[in-house]
Structure formats: C-alpha cells, structure tokens
Amino acid sequence: MENEPKIPINILITHGFLISMDAGLSIIQDGAIAIEGSRIAAIGTTSTLESQYQPQQIIDASGMFVMPGLINTHTHSGDILFRGLVEDLPLESWLEQLWVAENHFINAESVGWGARLAYIEMVRSGITTALDMFWFPYELAQAAKEVGFHLATGFVFFDSPIADGMLPKERYRLARQFLTQYACDELIIPAVQPHSVYTVSTENLKQASKLAQEFGTLFVTHASETLTEVRNCRRDYGCTPIQYLDRLGALTPRTVLAHCVHLDSDEFDLLSQRGVSVANCPVSNMKLASGIANVSQMLLSGVNVTLGTDGPVSGNDLNLWYTMRLAALVQKTVNHDASLMSTKQVVSMATREGAKALGISAKTGSLEVGKQADIILVQTGRAHSTPSFDPYSSIVYSLGREDVETVLINGRLVMYNRNLLTINETEVIEAVRQLGIQIAIYVSQPNQAEKSQTGIRRKE
Amino acid sequence: MENEPKIPINILITHGFLISMDAGLSIIQDGAIAIEGSRIAAIGTTSTLESQYQPQQIIDASGMFVMPGLINTHTHSGDILFRGLVEDLPLESWLEQLWVAENHFINAESVGWGARLAYIEMVRSGITTALDMFWFPYELAQAAKEVGFHLATGFVFFDSPIADGMLPKERYRLARQFLTQYACDELIIPAVQPHSVYTVSTENLKQASKLAQEFGTLFVTHASETLTEVRNCRRDYGCTPIQYLDRLGALTPRTVLAHCVHLDSDEFDLLSQRGVSVANCPVSNMKLASGIANVSQMLLSGVNVTLGTDGPVSGNDLNLWYTMRLAALVQKTVNHDASLMSTKQVVSMATREGAKALGISAKTGSLEVGKQADIILVQTGRAHSTPSFDPYSSIVYSLGREDVETVLINGRLVMYNRNLLTINETEVIEAVRQLGIQIAIYVSQPNQAEKSQTGIRRKE
C-alpha cells in the first residue's frame, strides 16, 4: 500500500472536527475531506486520507468544525438596499414606507448590487445555498454566479406591474425562458415563485403551478403569514390559504411555503401528506408581530421544516446562526417545554432538511462522498465558545456568523480565512452604501407621502 | 486662540460617529472624545477637540460607532465552565445534571478561571459592566480587576452550604467584610445577593435587606422566574414573591430583580412605586421555557427595565447584542404590536437604564463629560451592516459582538482592534478548556446518577 501512487486531487481539508449531517449524523474527529472538482471524493481520518491523496492545496482545519454549508430557504435579497430603513411600525405603515422607496429604487442594476451584497453576507455567515424571491431574477442569477453561490430563484408571479414594471403575461413568458435556461446549471436552481394567494389571481396561481409541474421545478410562495391573510382568504375563497393552494393542486413535494404561521393541526397533516416543505422565518415573524409558527407541532406531524432569514428589511440581516438559536428558543417557549427542538434537530433544519426542501438532497445538505463540496469551516475554542461539550450545542447556542472562517461552494474556495476570493467585496459594499445615501435623501423629502399615494400599490 | 497651548490628555478618540445615550440622545458626526485618566474630559467634533487637546494616544474611530459600554445586569460568570453541558432538558432534570458537575468542580480556583473567561467574553462583546451573582465573590472581584472590568458583585445568600461549602452565618460575616473592603473601589460595586425567596429563609432575607440598607448597596435577587416559584411562594407565604419581598422591605431603588417573568399589573405598579429595577433575561427565560416577561407593560408602568444575559449555562453566551434584538422581537410578538420596543428604547435598556439599575448613572451608562470613560468602538459598513439608515436600528438589528473593535473601561484600553491588552486570553481559554475536559470525563462516568442522589441539593 505504502508504495502505491497517491491519487491527485484539488483540495484536502485536514485535521477538522467533521460534523457530517448525514443520515446517521456521523462525526469524525481529526477528519479530512478530499475534494476533486466540485465533488467530495473521500471522507475519513486525516491520516488515512493523507496517505491516499496528493492534493494541490491543503486547508488545515485544526480547531475548527467542518460541516455542510447552511441553507437559507427564504429571503428577498434585493431588499438589502433598504435594510433598517423602516423600524418599529405596524405592518401596514411599514409596507407603505418601504414601497415608496422600493418603487423608486428597484431596477435591474440596483437589484444586481443588492443581490451581490446579500450573497456576500450569506457566504460570510456560512450559507452556501439560498432560495431567493425577488424581482429581476436574471440579475440575481448573474450575481450568484459572480459570487459562486448556489441560488434557487425564478420569476415572481404577481398580478400588478410592481418594481419590475412587467405585466403577468410578460413575466410568464420570461419565467419559462428562465426555467429552460437554468435547467441544468451547476449553481442556479430554477423556481416558479408566485408571491402569495393575496397578490396573485386564481388563474395565475394555477398557471404557476402547472409551469412548476411541467418543468419539475420548485413552486415557492408565502402562505398564512398573518391572520389578516388567512381571514381575507376565507372571505374571498371560503377556505384557508393552505386549503386553497391544495385545491389548485399546488401542494407537492416540490412546494416550499414560507412562514405558515397561522395553521391548524389538520393543515399540518395536509402539508405532511403532500410532502410540502415549510420555511420557518422566526426573526421576521416576530419583528413584524405576525405570530409564531408552531414548528414543534409541524415536526410531530411529519412536515419538513427548514429555516429562512427572510429579507433584510424584515429581518435586518441574513444570519442563519441567529435564526437557528431563535427557532429553538421560541418553540421551547410557546410550547412550555424546554426539551423541544433538540440541537441536532435545529442543525438538521439548517442543513439537510433545507436541501430536501429545495429538492437537492442528493447533491448537498450533508458531507458525503459524491455530493457537492459545499463545506464550511467554523472556528471553535474562542472566548465565547469555550468550553464545548457537544458540537450541536455549540452550533445552535454559542457560535455565530463571525466564526465561519472558510467557505467552499461546489468545490470552489469562495471565502478563505474570512477573505472573499470571488468578488470585490469593497466595491459591492460601496455601491450599496451610495444607493443607501440616495434612498435616505429620497425618503426624507417632504413630498414622500404624496408619492406613496400615487405610487403603485400591492394588493395586500 | 490658535496660539494657546493645547491641553495634555491621555487619549483622544477621533472621527467617530458618537452615540452618546445622554438624556437627549445626542449624536455627533465626526465626533471626538478626550480622555484624561479614567474620565471623559471633553466631547465634541474632531476638529474642535483636535485644536484644543494634545493627546498621548490617538484612537481613530473612522467608520465606527462610538458609544457607551453595554451593561449586563444579570449573569452567573462561573457557570461558564459548564456552557452547553446540558441541553434540551426540562428545568428539573437540567438542574440535576448541572449540580452534579457544579458540586464537584466549583471551587475558588475554578471560579477564578471561569470568571476571567466570562469577563473576557463580555469585553469582546462590548460589555464594560456586569452584575454577577456567583460563589467566591473575592475571586470574581480579583478576576474583574485583572481584566479591568466593572463588576457589581458580593456574597450570595443561600441557606444551604452549596458549592462554596459555607453556612449562612459565615457568608454573612464575609458579606459584611466584602461590602466594607469594596465600598470605594474604582472597579468593584459591592452588592448583597440573596439567591431567591425559595432558597433563602425569611430571616436571612431580612438580614440581607438590612445589610444592603446599612451599606447603601445593591440588593439583588431572582424573582418570579417560573410559575412553580410563584405557586410555591403563595403556598408558603400566602403571596407572590414580589409581594413577599415588599413585606420584608426589600424593594427599594437599590433593588435589582432578575427575571420577573410571572407578574401581574399590580406588581408592575408596585415595582414602579418602589423604584425597583428589573433585569430582563429573554434568552434564558425562553431556553428554559420559563416564560416571557411582559417588558412592554413594565415599561408603561414606569419600571426601570434593563437587560441581562443570565449565566452561560442557561443562555450559553454573554452576548448582549443577541439579547437586545431578542428582547425587542419577543415583546413585539407577545403583545401583537410591531411598534413596541423602539430601537432607542432597547439601546437605552442596555446602557443608561442598566447604569441606573446599578446606581451608577452619575458615573457611566452614557458618554458625558465627567463620567468614566467606559466606551466601545463598533465597526460599521461591513457586509452585514450596509446600508445603515439609523444607528439605533443598526445596533439592535444588524450589528453584533464581532463588530466591537475597541473597548475602554475607566479610561483604560482593555481591548484594541480586538486584541485583549490586560490579560493573557490564550492562557485563560486553555485553563477553562482543560477544566471542560475534566468535567466531560466526570459526567460521563456511570455512577453520575448516584452522585446526584447523594449530592447537596438546592431547595428548588
């Protein structure tokens, strides 16, 4: 054996504490991962893999957790331009102020800058894949490719010509084109994204569902986020948003529903039967006082629950570490049971369950041979993470975005020792900062209220 | 003017965005702070102060917020040794497991190491003052002095000879000695700390209250943390813990009550009338499923509400940034009102209201001439904090512990560009890591359950 030639590979990660998140939640101490091209070629102990492989590059993960990249199943990247613009207002006034700014500033170019910054922020916090609902998906896909980030996205179905100025027909035509173009992309996962039951007509929702079926892609929408939404749906359609979507045939294993705050137990069972995934977004739901989804009950009913940050306007950052911890805390609280939401469960939601929701379990969500090398290295042993008795506890309750040192996506080093390697971060931050200055000037103008009155409104 | 000699000072902080947290919440762009000895000598624009002062050292705060250090009004530093040891258990089993380890490992030396690490972690996250309830307060005070950290602490009143092996009489004697010794210390704020109404007898609570009165010091205790506590207090004393403490004369403007989760509106009014401060600890209350304190109602009743991380066992870290955001999110949620807990209110709770609770408003909690130079410099303009439309929104919702670059306490540079200057951080982390290894081995022994049965128990 000793004289056998070593196998050449691109990258060997060595001496890490491997948290695989595979089905058996295997852990390897002093572990190594061999990466060839975009894939994981081998996983084992450092000594074994060092004896077998000849890497071009060695990444020393001493003192670090090596784990699958996190998966953010709900966000609106372009909203990053308005991060923190409107605070402490009830939903209606909040939306009004936000839309004034959105209607004026959202265009293909500004969305491109916003998306770049959002994907940079996500990479920095260890997210390697996101499901993103925003206008100008071609620009989103372009930004994701620049950063080297896995992005699930596609055209938003919306009855009014909002920020992108398009009518539903035009968006439908482009949605088909987008689905075709990105059908086999190594980074982009195409999706059909009707905004919600209250902003898209029955006919257009059916069309979206059919389109997702035709292309075998994700069907993504907001559902039962607020009590008002549920009430209005009952008034307009005689049933809840979940029942209504089911009637339209829109609930399938390719469906991702964001929020699902106001559901009853029959609806949990229905989602479970249909194989639907739910993107739980506790930060946003709490900040906008929408309510708290009963994730623990959903899990008991067998629903695949995943985690989302929501957009940086309602959640303010794209930090799935904050979300993991909050998701656990809030479920223990509302169910009066400290034993709920085990740390393993929470980390699963942010990794392997997220991959399942996006239909990419075979490709990512865990460290396994043959899967994409979507891997993050997380520094342990700092003041805030010492001592550590259990890796999952550390991940959920004491580590944070700042501990993510190195990120590989599809086998490519996107961040190394906290330096972004694929994109000029300074340029992106400066571009968004400048847009922010313009936005601040615009919203401070005295005729802002008038603009709001004459501006295009969403149906909500 | 131009030829007047400049005034020599120790430190001039320049070019910062000053968030003073003074009564008028003044802000100075391109601001500067002159520091002489332990005090703030002047505050103004950079150009003005540069023309007036001749500093030994200039700290350039370009691109940073300059704000008062955060104040953590409830923690148990020594519990850091057991961070994450026990997760996802209901309170009773959780305590049982924790106490097995505590009874075996808590001693003067281990507490010293734990306290050092806790104060390092707090400095790293921008906390400059903490109220700490733990065994071996002399060791806590010593650790705080090594780090250069403001610490409010004192002997814990507790009827059983817990971790420190002392009987109440002995603790009382030492408590007096501690209060005398630290009456005029520049870093230590002495306190009288009976653990709770369920672990301290009426007689000993009265004695504690009298002692605090005699020395004019803080009276600190846990109160109404769980429903069980309130129920048992009603059973044993015919009233709630708040009413009971009031009967004993223990509710005064020098009283800090941790938690106060299960209070009714009459009790809010009582706390307000008595001038009592409440340390709200949402992370711990949620993790242990104790419940959610109605902070919004307390504030409406005029209670001084402050923020605490609680110990690193129930909260897992000492991160007041997480707590600020969570305190806001959870109040909006439980009260179904997104307008509650304005960002300014939350930052006040973590700074000036905290100082008020500890009776040190005249000395710290805001950036004002004559106050102690307890100042933190917080980096802005990173990927996760761009753009920024409002500094308070950034502080509560997008900045984090990792953005704290530089910390001054009492005019002394304790952390500069994230390097600890007062203590050997590596040595402290290593000492606690080694203790952690021993703890892990100990609790994994098969006779652990038996030890638990024979160990000393708290009354809870």
Cis peptide upstream of residue B387 (ω within 30 degrees of 0): yes
Query: Pick from A288, A319, A383: which is nearest to B338 by CB?
Result: A288
Q: What is the reported pLDDT for B91?
A: 67
Judge whether A458 and A199 are in contact, CB under 8 Å. yes
Residue B131, SS3? Answer: strand
Alpha-carbon gap, residue A206 to A426, rounded angstroms: 43
Residue listed under structure tokens 């390097």? B419
Q: Which residues of B touch A312 (CB under 8 A)?
A: 398
Residue A267: which residues within 8 A CB-CB, separation 6 or more?
A224, A240, A242, A243, A260
Q: What is the reported pLDDT for A447?
A: 65
Please give the residue of chain B at the shortest CA–CA distance from A289. B333
Q: In this structure, what are the phi and psi dihedrals at residue A437, rounded to the nearest 5 degrees?
A: -60, -45
Please give the residue of chain B at the shortest CA–CA distance from A92. B338
Q: Per residue in B172-215, pLDDT tens? A: 999 999 999 999 999 999 999 999 999 999 999 999 999 999 99
Query: Pick from A285, A317, A393: which is nearest to B84 by CB?
Result: A393
Q: What is the reported pLDDT for B315?
A: 84
Q: In this structure, what are the phi and psi dihedrals at residue B418, rounded to the nearest 5 degrees?
A: 70, 10
Pair of tokens at residue A397? 């309750």
Q: Is the predicted pLDDT of residue B449 greater than 70, yes or no?
A: no
Classify the C-alpha dihedral A55-A58-A59-A63 as positive or negative. positive
User: How close A203 gets to chain B, by Cα (Å)?
Assistant: 34
Q: Per residue in B2-25, pLDDT tens? A: 568 999 999 999 999 999 999 999
At B460, the pLDDT band (50, 70, 90 cuts) reads very low
Query: Pick from A84, A387, A429: which is nearest to B83 by CB?
Result: A387
Percentage with pLDDT > 70 across chain B? 95
Judge whether A343 and A390 are in contact, CB under 8 Å. yes
| Topology of the domain comprising B70-357 | TIM Barrel (3.20.20)
Q: Which residue has the higher pLDDT, B259 or B1?
A: B259
Superfamily in which the B7-68+367-420 domain is placed by CATH: Urease, subunit C, domain 1 (2.30.40.10)
Q: Which residues of B touch A432 (CB under 8 A)?
A: 386-387
Alpha-carbon gap, residue A204 to A210, rounded angstroms: 10
Distance of CA B449 to the CA centre of its chain: 33
Residue listed under structure tokens 């010091």? B217
In a mutagenesis test of the A interface, which of B384, B430, B441 is the best target, namely the one with the most A β-carbons within 10 Å?
A: B384
pTM assigned to the model: 0.96
Alpha-carbon gap, residue B157 to B155, rounded angstroms: 6
Pair of tokens at residue A273? 């039967």
Q: Which residues of B touch A335 (CB under 8 A)?
A: 289
Contact yes or no for A84 and B397 at CB 8 A: yes
Q: What is the reported pLDDT for B454?
A: 33
Neighbours of A167 (CB within 10 A): 11
Contact yes or no for A90 and B433 at CB 8 A: no
Judge whether A87 and A312 are in contact, CB under 8 Å. no
At B458, the pLDDT band (50, 70, 90 cuts) reads very low
Which residues, numbered 397 to 416 in chain A, qualify as contacts with chain B under a Cβ-Cβ cut-off of 8 Å?
397-398, 400-402
Q: What is the reported pLDDT for A458?
A: 37
Helix-strand-coil percent breakdown of chain A, rounded to 5? 40, 25, 35
Alpha carbon dihedral A227, A232, A235, A238, in 10-degree steps, equals -70
Residue listed under structure tokens 């304790």? B414
Query: Pick from A333, A383, A432: which is nearest to B386 by CB?
Result: A432
Alpha-carbon gap, residue B32 to B12, rounded angstroms: 7
At B234, the pLDDT band (50, 70, 90 cuts) reads very high
Q: Per residue in B361-374, pLDDT tens? A: 999 999 999 999 99
Q: Which residues of A touch B319 (CB under 8 A)?
A: 384, 400
A286 touching chain B per CB within 8 A: yes
- For residues B320-332, give the mean pLDDT: 98
In a mutagenesis test of the B interface, which of A79, A86, A88 is the best target, namely the one with the most B β-carbons within 10 Å?
A: A88
Low-confidence ranges of chain A (pLDDT < 70): 1-3, 90-92, 446-460
Residue listed under structure tokens 């049971």? A337
A226 touching chain B per CB within 8 A: no
B433 touching chain A per CB within 8 A: yes
Query: Pick from B87, B330, B432: which is nearest to A286 by CB?
Result: B330
Which residues, numbered 111 to 140 in chain A, qualify as contacts with chain B under a Cβ-Cβ cut-off of 8 Å?
117, 120-121, 124-125
In a mutagenesis test of the A interface, which of B398, B399, B405 is the best target, namely the one with the most A β-carbons within 10 Å?
A: B398
Please give the residue of chain A at the shortest CA–CA distance from B435. A387
Q: In this structure, what are the phi and psi dihedrals at residue B364, rounded to the nearest 5 degrees?
A: -155, -175
Alpha-carbon gap, residue A138 to A154, rounded angstroms: 8
Q: Which residues of B touch A436 (CB under 8 A)?
A: 386-389
Q: Which residues of B touch A339 (CB under 8 A)?
A: 88-90
Buried b (16+ CB within 10 A) or exposed e, B352-388: bbbbbbbbbeebbbbbbeebbbbbbbbbbbbbbbbbb
Alpha-carbon gap, residue A348 to A325, rounded angstroms: 13
Contact yes or no for A342 and B87 at CB 8 A: yes
Q: What is the reported pLDDT for B96?
A: 79
Q: What is the ipTM of this complex?
A: 0.95
Contact yes or no for A432 and B91 at CB 8 A: no
For helices B202-215 and B168-181, the axis angle rounded to 10 degrees is 10
Q: Where are the domains of chain B?
A: 7-68+367-420, 70-357
* DSSP class of B337: -
A423 touching chain B per CB within 8 A: no
B339 touching chain A per CB within 8 A: yes
Alpha-carbon gap, residue A357 to A306, rounded angstroms: 7
Q: Per residue in A363-388, pLDDT tens? A: 999 999 999 999 999 999 999 999 99
Alpha-carbon gap, residue A279 to A309, rounded angstroms: 9
Q: What is the reported pLDDT for B455?
A: 34
Query: Pick from A333, A383, A437: which is nearest to B124 by CB?
Result: A383
Burial class (CB in 10 A: 0-12, 13-18, 19+), A441: exposed
Q: What is the reported pLDDT for B98?
A: 83
B27 touching chain A per CB within 8 A: no
Q: Per residue in B20-57, pLDDT tens? A: 999 999 999 999 999 999 999 999 999 999 999 999 99
Q: What is the reported pLDDT for A68?
A: 98
Q: What is the reported pLDDT for A303?
A: 98
User: How close A85 gets to chain B, by Cα (Å)?
Assistant: 5
Q: Is the predicted pLDDT of residue B298 greater than 60, yes or no?
A: yes
Query: Pick from B287, B319, B433: which is nearest to A338 by CB?
Result: B287
B280 touching chain A per CB within 8 A: no
Contact yes or no for A117 and B386 at CB 8 A: yes
Q: Is the predicted pLDDT of residue B93 greater than 90, yes or no?
A: no
Contact yes or no for B89 and A339 at CB 8 A: yes
User: How close A445 gets to chain B, by Cα (Å)?
Assistant: 15
